[in-house]
Amino acid sequence: MSVSTIASDRSVCSPLPVLGRDVTVPLVTGGEVTYAALDYAASAPALQRVWDDVAAYAPYYGSVHRGAGYLSQLSTDLFENARGTVSEFLDCREDDQVVFTRSTTDSLNLLASVVPAGCEVFVFETEHHASLLPWRDAQVTYLDAPSTPRQAVETLERALAHRDPSRASGPALVCVTGASNVTGELWPVRELAATAHAHGARIVLDAAQLAPHHPVSVRDLDVDWVAFSGHKLYAPFGAGVLAGRADWLRDAEPYLAGGGASRKVTRRTDGGVDVEWHESAARHEAGSPNVIGAYAIASACKALTDAGFDTLVARERHLIRTVGEGLAEVPEVKVLSLFGDDSPRVGVISFVVEGWNSSHFAAALSAEYGIGVRDGLFCAHPLVRTLLGSDPQSQGECGAPEAAPGEKSLNAIRVSFGAGTPDEHVERFVRAVKELVSEGAKWNYRTEGGRCVPTV
């Protein structure tokens, strides 16, 4: 897919066509406006190309790995070819496996289920809960939030160097994000991988927020595994990917037991059964696979590759500048950052507004301007609480969705965008922030069902 260049002194390109770009929504103040979807970090809209590819395949939909008929064979080929496309997109090594899962969360829980006994896991407190929480059966060391990329590497170095001597020769795994889902900041993945390997540890990259914005090369970054979700990569239908080294995956019991994961099942004379499991990626893909989800991911991978990440990154930097410079003009706005405001980031920016509860502010953006953002703690509670400190925001008109009854509000606003975002959406967002801060909301709001909503 080609992208045309628009006239601009910054030489940015036009956005990739996505579904919903012409959807209009009502405003509480009257009339309708084209919806500005600025919550890509939660779920990006589907690329039009992905939807068209899936629609073209849909009449040929059939069972995968289970039928002799033409549609089953075609679907099986499509599913396996999708695996190859993802492997190429990630620049995997020749002997790496690509396992299709439901999401990044599912991928990391799968990996957590196959780590060898006695494995030590090292994870920064700044991670998304999908990276922070799955390691319940391992010895976990939670690392403090770093204030610079260099400090992140130094923190990991110290932690690995001071492993318990009784465990130091055993397996170890580092889990780290490529780009924060809260601040958008890029992490020093290559340096962290080198540090992990220098101490005999392996590393898994949570690329949920990185892969939609930047190229991810397993070889170049030298990571052992990478996980990401289709719904953040402009592909609907609830599929994800875990790609990387095969040995831990091959040596462990299947993530789910059932058809597809088993190669051979026989009855024993004592009444039980013996099972021979697949050694391929199918070992952890029990049940009928999500062929449409896998195909959608592959289609998105091709679309982003064809568009060219150099072009996409350049345009996204233009959008980031537009938002960053606009917010900087509002003294009441504080942008959240670990590494500093000038740190490289993807199109994810979180902030708070002095005198406003973040839920109230986000509700006003939606109801009065047709702008969809996210408010809360973004499934990264320790990180957001660290960034916000102990000083709660004013309770304002509405409470935070995560706040228990009587609990003080502690939440932020997140705006996120990507390859499908028109300039007008981020420009409208900046104008709306300035108007809300200077003039206040035009409507009254209340808390209902844990959400801040307009009063009717």
Q: Determine contact, residues 363/437, Cβ cutoff 8 Å.
A: no
Alpha helix ranges (H) inside 201-357: 218-221, 247-251, 291-307, 309-328
pLDDT digits (tens, 9 = 90+) for 228-253: 999 999 999 999 999 999 999 999 99
What is the per-residue pLDDT for 402?
Answer: 52
pLDDT digits (tens, 9 = 90+) for 334-369: 999 999 988 999 999 999 999 999 999 999 999 999
Q: What is the DSSP string of 22-90?
A: T-EEE-TTSSEEE-EE-BTTT-PPPBHHHHHHHHHHGGG---SSS--SHHHHHHHHHHHHHHHHHHHHT
| Residue 398 is a catalytic residue | no
Q: Positive or negative CA dihedral for 326, 317, 45, 183?
A: negative
Residue 258 has pLDDT above 60, yes or no: yes
Beta bridge partners, 177, equal 206
Residue 259 has pLDDT above 90, yes or no: no
Beta bridge partners, 375, equal 413
Q: How confident is the model at residue 405 (pLDDT cuts 50, 70, 90)?
A: very low
Global pTM reads: 0.92
Q: Helix, strand, or coil here: 149?
A: helix
pLDDT digits (tens, 9 = 90+) for 49-107: 999 999 999 999 999 988 889 999 999 999 999 999 999 999 999 999 999 999 999 99
Q: Considering the chain, what is the average pLDDT of its residues?
A: 91
Q: Helix, strand, or coil here: 293?
A: helix
**Which residue of the set 119, 379, 398, 452 is catalytic?**
379
Q: What is the DSSP string of 385-405?
A: HHHHTT-PPP--SS--TTPPT
What is the per-residue pLDDT for 176?
Answer: 98
